Amino acid sequence: MNPSNKIKLSVLLTIAAFPALSYAEDVQTGELPEVTVSGKRPAQSGSRLDSGSKDSLDILDGQKLKSARSTSLGQTVERISGVQNSSFGPGNGTPQIRSLGGTRVKLMENGLGISDTAAFGGNLPTAVHPFMADKITVHKSSTAVLYGGNAIGGAVNVETGQIPDELPEKNWTGKAEVSGGYNTPHTELLSLDGKIGKIAWHVDGINSKISHYRIPGNSKADACYNSVGERHYFPLGKACQFDVRYDFFFNKGYYRYVMQTYLDRGEAWRDMMGLDFADIYRTERPQWGNWAENPLYDPSITSGRGQTVKSITHITPNEHGKLTNSHQHTRNFSVGASYIGSQGYAGIGVSRYLTDYGMPGYSFLRTRSHLDGSLPTNISADQTRWTAEAQYRPNNNWLDNVKTQLAYTDAENRELLADHFVSSIDSRSTQLRVELNHKIGSLVRGSAGLDWKKRRTGGEGADRFMPDTKTQSYGLFALEKLTYRNWEAEIGSRFGRVGHTPDFSGFRPSRNYGGSRENRQYRFSLNSNQAALSWKPFDAWRIGIRHSRSQRAPEINELFAANRHFAVFANESGNTDLKKETAKTWELSNEFKWKNSTLKAAYYHTAFDNYIYLNDSGAEVEWMPLRYWQQGDTKIRGFELEFTHLFDLNRAGNLEARLFADLVKNYPAENHSSCSTEDSRNREKWLKCVRSHNQGKYMPAMPTSRYGIGLEWSKGNWLLGSSLTRYTAQKRRGRAIYEEPNLGGYNIWDAYLSYTRKLPKDLTLEWFADARNLGNVEARPHNSTLKYLAPLPGRSLRTGLRLNF
């Protein structure tokens, strides 16, 4: 029963009992009047059945969501243990769950996927604003059974209430909010809900804008300059937006022997023969030819040949106190309406999302569009999304409900150099999802269904990095849960297929693509399964174990990319020989609840077969590093701890304390630190050797470990919260040809304060202040693509008013 209905029932029973108690002495017999309580039982769904709802699922709603909201979805959920923000500047970031993100974490709005293109690199937006959310659900385990291969690392669902599923109590209600302040966007928001007869409707909109962000120090990291003095190597030149020029040298005096013919005939003979100095001078006397002692030999010289840094030119300026090109302007509007019947509802909705923002620190000197000069990179995105949703709840003993969802999304994402168009990634997709949620007696509940999706991805411009591609996928799934006394068991399975058909007309493919296979369809059959078991030895303690085997098909950028890709700052090369990847995960969980305390602990281990990753080649193409997609077995393991306690301070209010810590390791399944010429004869072993040499013992750009504390005090109309999180220095650094530098650790201190006042006519006014990075520290997340160019914003304060009516 709904908790609010329990309260109403208790009140009604108490009122009804008072007359009986008052006249107990006079009245010997009698009976209480019958009380009927009506309410809506929550509809059953696959996401409610998933074991993640207890073991590895976090929900942000109510006050938790208010204090966590930020400009991007990644920033909004990053305080959840095991979840971090894959930052692409202060205005854009996606959730990274247990080191996995991009095409491995499914992002959804009201249960259907969003932002396919944002997964291709991170610079493109996730087309839903967190300020419009009523609730955000984060699945930290694989949900591939329910949502397909793109949920192999988890899922995030943003619920906005666009299509109402019940009639509101009042004819119309809503909220309005305005906020702004120091180093934060100014934001205006309006949301309205209402009803006309049996029609429920919803309207909302938001406008958010900022010209630039302030930072405590320099925009470029000190690590960018650590290798400037080295003669042979400047590893971070491209990543730090330097144009480095070299002088090459050859010290003849370093070599003990020289060709006698060269001594006799001189430079004219060397030029005629086309010989390099390295052909003529040797440290040891060869067994062939006529060699003489080098008259210039000097044993004090320590280097024979190499290069020195001649000049370093900043492509983007190293600003102090200001984050270059960090402007952002976002608008999001939506409307929806539903017919509400006695056994379900049916509704439609439409939304528009528009945003323009800069990629901090990025500029380019060379481009196929023939533009000259150092030009900053900007993004302009525009999306229209149509949705339809219906649910039927029959009076049936075994069928709880049938739910159907349909969405058509038209998204355009333009990449600009300054104001000049250079490329676009456009996507038009249609997706359908049907769930039959059922029950067998009181012990078994289940969800079976299908989802289908068709997508066309295209683009224009001289610098576009992917060809036009058609993608079609479908999946059939079933998830069943058995509950018996203090035991719960779960089993689920999914079968699906994914097909990609590229069109290379007018597009130059990568060298890893076979031209004879043009316009063929790349098909992948996927099977995912999961099973879970939990046991409560007693009410305060629950133990859980979960195993999943999930598969994901390569995405189109991994298969077909072939050009400069600003998001990964590389010339990206796809690989059409990629296979599907398979993840096998074991997860152990414990939860203790005693009075006002809760302790949660989780350990997980994932073994990936054919893990797809972007590898550095060490070469350059058109001034940008060449990076190509390849595969290798990979392991991920880590843990999460969280403890909460609610202190009852009596007249002083309530105080909730939270402690948490998390750690994740992502590393090759086999490490070959040293390889011999014998290894090169075995291709599989040689590829592992190359991977170990190029990327080291750990995968590059891995999230760092964290621990922290949070306090939230409330009394009457007041609420005050604060959190302090320590991001440790990354000790498990990988390689990107060069070894990743240590950017150090940092502490992030945030605070939130609000005062709520009830006004006449059912109005509620709330004043709030939201402060971030109060210590004004320079913070460079190790998992951020822009870590060398764009630290997190400095101290900020957002204050505003929220009116509920």
- For CA atoms 436, 440, 442, 444, the dihedral sign is negative
Residue with tokens 């955000």: 136
Per-residue pLDDT, averaged over 78-95, amounts to 92
Same domain, 122 and 247: no
Rounded to 5, what percent of the chain is helix, strand, coil?
Answer: 15, 50, 35
Distance CA 578, CA 559 (A): 7
- Residue 140 shares a structural domain with residue 227: no
HEC profile of 559-610: HHCEEEEHHHCEEEECCCCCCCEEEEEEEEEEEEEECCEEEEEEEEEEEEEE
Contact 417, 364 (CB under 8 A): yes
CA distances from 775 to 89, 700, 751, 784, 794 (A): 19, 28, 11, 21, 8
**12 pLDDT more than 50:** no
Does position 583 have pLDDT exceeding 70, yes or no? yes
pLDDT, greater one: 691 or 254: 254
- What is the Cα–Cα distance from 685 to 671, expressed in whole angstroms? 11
Residue 54 pLDDT exceeds 80 = no
Q: Kindly list the distances between the CA atom of residue 422 and the CA atoms of 161, 480, 724, in Å, as whole numbers in the listed order.
A: 37, 50, 42
CATH number at residue 556: 2.40.170.20
| 236 and 164 in a common domain | no
My answer on whether 708 and 605 are in the same domain is yes
Helix (H, G, I), strand (E, B) or coil at 744: coil
Confidence of residue 4 (pLDDT cuts 50, 70, 90): very low
Residues 407-432 have pLDDT tens digits of: 999 999 998 888 888 888 899 999 99
Of 360, 334, 409, 348, residue with least CA distance to 131: 334
- What pLDDT score does 373 carry? 59
Least reliable range by pLDDT among 542-546, 620-624, 741-745: 620-624
Higher pLDDT, 307 or 357: 357
Residue the block writes with tokens 């020195």: 308
Q: What is the mean pLDDT of residues 552-562?
A: 93
DSSP string, 270-320: HHHHT--HHHHEESS--SSS-EEE-TT--TT----EEEEEEEEEESS---E
Find, among 694, 716, 711, the residue nearest to 615 by Cα. 694
Most confident of the following: 44-53, 271-280, 315-324, 702-711:
702-711
Contact 164, 148 (CB under 8 A): no
- Is there a domain that residue 49 lies in? no
pLDDT bin (cut points 50, 70, 90) of residue 8 is very low
Report the run of H or E that residue 556 belongs to, with start and end. Answer: helix 556-560
Alpha-carbon distance of 607 to 632, in angstroms, equals: 11
Task: Report which residue type is found at 385.
Answer: R
Q: Which residue has the higher pLDDT, 585 or 367?
A: 585
Query: 252 with 324, same domain?
Result: no
| Residue 573 identity (one-letter amino acid) | S
Query: Long-range contacts: 68-76, Cβ < 8 Å, 24+?
Result: 69/130, 69/131, 69/133, 70/130, 70/772, 71/130, 71/185, 71/208, 71/328, 71/330, 72/126, 72/130, 73/107, 73/126, 73/128, 73/130, 73/136, 73/156, 73/158, 75/130, 76/130, 76/133, 76/136
Angle at the Cα of 482 from the Cα atoms of 479 and 487, rounded to 5 degrees: 130
Q: How many CA atoms lie within 13 A of 20 on its CB side?
A: 11
| Tokens matching residue 255 | 């070599």
DSSP 100: B
Where in the sequence is the domain holding 283, given as residue range(s)? 218-314
pLDDT in tens, 693-714: 777 889 989 999 999 999 999 9
**Torsions phi, psi of 651, nearest 5?**
-70, -20
Residues 296 and 340 in one domain: no
Which residues in 211-223 are b (16+ Cβ under 10 Å) and which e? ebbebbeebbbeb
Q: Are residues 80 and 210 in the same domain?
A: yes
> Nearest-CA neighbor of 398 among 440, 356, 368?
440
Mean pLDDT is highest, among 407-421, 450-464, 491-505, 624-638, for: 491-505
End-to-end CA separation in angstroms for the chain: 27
Whether residue 55 is predicted with pLDDT greater than 70 in this model: the reply is: no
What pLDDT was estimated at residue 577? 92
Region label for 596, one of left (φ > 0), alpha (ψ between -120 and 50) or beta (otherwise): alpha
Give the model confidence (pLDDT) of 495-511 as tens digits. 999 999 999 887 877 76
Flag whether 351 is in a domain. yes
pLDDT reported for residue 191? 97
- What residues contact residue 9 under an 8 Å CB cut-off, 6+ apart? 1, 35, 37
Question: What integer is the mean pLDDT of 778-790?
Answer: 93
Last-in-domain residue among 252, 281, 314: 314
Q: Give dist(CA 407, CA 391) in Å, integer.
A: 15
Q: What is the mean pLDDT of residues 164-172?
A: 94
294-324 b/e with 16+ CB inside 10 Å = b? beebeeeeeebbebebeeeeebbebbeebbb
- Residues 245, 169, single domain; the answer is no
**pLDDT at residue 784, rounded to an integer:** 92
More confident residue, 635 or 424: 635
Residue 589 lies in a domain: yes
In a domain, 6, yes or no: no
DSSP code at position 518: T
Shared-domain flag, residues 148 and 246: no
Q: pLDDT digits over 591-615, tens only?
A: 999 999 999 999 999 999 999 998 8
Q: Are residues 203 and 239 in the same domain?
A: no
- Sorting pLDDT into bands at 50, 70 and 90, what band is 692? confident
461/397 same-domain check: yes
User: Is the pLDDT confidence value at 30 over 60?
Assistant: no
Determine the pLDDT at residue 494. 98
Amino acid at 681: R
**Looking at the domain assignment, is residue 602 inside a domain?**
yes
Residues 222 and 212 in one domain: no
The residue out of 251, 283, 314 marking a domain boundary is: 314
Residue 534 to residue 545: CA distance in whole angstroms: 6
Residue 36 has pLDDT above 70, yes or no: no
DSSP 508: -
pLDDT digits (tens, 9 = 90+) for 371-388: 655 678 889 999 999 999
DSSP string, 3-20: HHHHHHHHHHHHHHHHHH
Phi, psi of 549 (to 5 degrees): -125, 110
pLDDT reported for residue 18? 30
Residue 376 falls inside a structural domain: no
Q: Is residue 271 part of a domain?
A: yes
Task: Tell me if 248 sits within 8 A of 307, measured CB to CB.
Answer: yes
| Structural domains of the chain, count | 2
Instruction: With a cut of 50, say whether residue 104 has pLDDT above it.
Output: yes
C-alpha to C-alpha distance for 448 and 403, rounded to whole angstroms? 11
What percent of the chain stands above pLDDT 70? Answer: 89
Residue at 50 is within a domain? no
SS3 662: strand
Pick the residue with more confidence: 620 or 284? 284
Contact 223, 235 (CB under 8 A): no
Going by their DSSP bridges, the two strands 257-259 and 242-250 should be labelled as unpaired
Tell me how far apart the alpha carbons of residues 711 and 659 are, in angstroms, rounded to a whole number: 9
**Helix or strand or coil: residue 684?**
helix
Residue 446 corresponds to which tokens in the numbers above?
């289940």
Better pLDDT: 55 or 748 = 748
Decide which of 286, 314, 342 is a domain's last residue: 314
**CA dist 662 to 83, 301, 598, 604, 710, Å?**
9, 51, 17, 11, 15
At 567 the pLDDT is: 66
Measured CA to CA, the distance from residue 102 to residue 274 in angstroms comes to: 50
